[in-house]
Amino acid sequence: MNEYKASVSAIQTVEKFMSGALDKQIKSAVSKRGWIGGACMAIPLWGIEVIIYAIVLWNTYGEISKMSGVPFKDNAVKNIIGGFIINLVVNLIFGFILDFIPVVGWLGSLLVGYFSIVTSGMGYVKMLKALHGKKSKADLNIQKGLAALQDPKSLPGNKAN
């Protein structure tokens, strides 16, 4: 049960960070797709879950691109390169972490799927801003995300939430 509480607390913390760091629409799109990606990884589908996960991930990138004012199709080369770079970085980080922390059961798989989509989405927002500059209307504001975490009313488990 402690794993469950720790998992819920970690998810609440990430959601609160995103609430401060991202535009509300982008946060909602990333969060929703994070849950879908997590469910894909948690439900064993004999390899099909990886294909579904990849579709959800690239759909996340497409939606973020559209909301950022940098349509994916119109900027395909930069957006695909940015997506692949983010995928490599996130996969390297999660691969490194999972070398030290074994994933146990469906809850662990759900968390890995959720966190990898969410971190990829946040990284992709930052990548769009870096690649497209002022053309991208959205950005990841790390300072606002950290400020949201420091707000005592926003801490996981606080009844004022």
Q: What is the pLDDT of residues 107-134, one digit of tens each?
A: 777 888 899 999 999 999 999 999 899 8
- pTM (2 d.p.): 0.81
User: What pLDDT does residue 104 have?
Assistant: 65
Measured CA distances, 134 to 42, 58, 84, 100, 138 (Å)? 38, 23, 22, 40, 9
The set of residues, in sequence order, having a beta carbon less than 8 Å from that of 37 and lying 6+ positions away, is 53, 56, 57, 60, 113, 114, 116, 117
* Domain boundaries defined on the chain: 48-149
The 10s digit of each residue's pLDDT in 38-72 is 888 888 777 788 888 889 999 999 999 999 999 88
The 10s digit of each residue's pLDDT in 127-137 is 999 989 989 99
Q: Mean of the per-residue pLDDT values for the chain?
A: 84
User: What pLDDT does residue 68 have?
Assistant: 93
- pLDDT band at 88, cuts 50/70/90? confident
- pLDDT band at 160, cuts 50/70/90? very low
One-letter identity of residue 7: S
Q: Angle, to 10 degrees, between the axis of helix 2-21 and the axis of helix 142-150? A: 130
User: What pLDDT does residue 56 have?
Assistant: 92
User: What pLDDT does residue 118 have?
Assistant: 93
